[in-house]
Structure 1
């Protein structure tokens, strides 16, 4: 009994990544940008959003908010690091059309609002609204299971199952 109360905590090794956006889930290889499609930044999936509300896909901590507001980095309980890159070639928008709702160091739970993006403005000023969700430290992954492509709902649809080493 006491050992179960005071014993070492089991290390979390399995994790579900939920959709950070509502839209159409697509394979990372189909993203029309070689940096993402060739997995140069890591393994993942992408979503072509139908709305601009970006929520936390994992429980964890905000580790980076890009000054141009187009991307955010999160670290999960397993140590997995995720990059959510809203749209393609959106860095040139210099934050226009993006509203950040969190700050670096903040803890988040699945479904917490992270960023609101103006999809119409992105369509007008950038290459695409397609949003890659990348595991930037893919070397810690032991096993990765991707969900089937198709419609997903932010905060509730499972897009990746990850087991870390």
Structure 2
């Protein structure tokens, strides 16, 4: 996904901004193409196509939530190219979101990306307000607290 990387505190939803679901980051997308950030298996894709869970080979669970409060769109404005159980490669196009449609329906286009099963001593490190491009290496790192 191409766009600006931001801290979760910028997400206009307390579930994400307070890290209830886990640590991560947010992307403000420039376009609606969504690429897998990792090699893994699609553990779940909601029927409304607004939320995708991928599990990596080392059992990291990554939630990609396409927009905020977008479940109410009932799948309109989203196109998925994967299904639960599919194996995905880093950089593979997995979904598209219609940014104009989402904005027209008064929803946020913010895309939180959450690591839902980090250990208690781990946290996500990245540089905020930086432009990122799909498939760029080492944008986000997992660090351990000391």
Distance 1:90 1:60, change over 3 A: same
Residue of structure 2 in register with 1:72 after alignment? 52
Aligned ranges 1:63-102 → 2 under 5 Å: 63-102=43-82
After TM superposition, the score normalised by the length of structure 1 is 0.81
Unaligned 5+ segments in structure 2 are none
CA shift at 1:146, angstroms?
2.1
Runs of 4+ in 1 over 4 A off after TM superposition: none
Per-residue CA deviation, residues 91-131 of structure 1 (Å, 9 max, x unaligned), is 00000011100111111111101111100001111421000
Larger radius of gyration: 1
1:132 equivalent to 2:112? Answer yes
Root mean square deviation, CA, Å: 1.7
Unaligned 5+ segments in structure 1 are 1-20
Distance 1:149 1:77, change over 3 A: farther
Q: 1:140 & 1:64 partners in 2: Cα distance?
A: 24
Residue of structure 2 in register with 1:158 after alignment? 138
Contact persistence 2:37–2:91 (CA under 8 A): yes
- Pick which of 136-145 and 59-68 moved more: 136-145
Aligned ranges 1:1-165 → 2 under 5 Å: 21-139=1-119, 142=122, 144-156=124-136, 158-162=138-142
After TM superposition, the score normalised by the length of structure 2 is 0.91
Q: 2:14 & 2:130 partners in 1: Cα distance?
A: 22
Q: 1:110 & 1:149 partners in 2: Cα distance?
A: 23
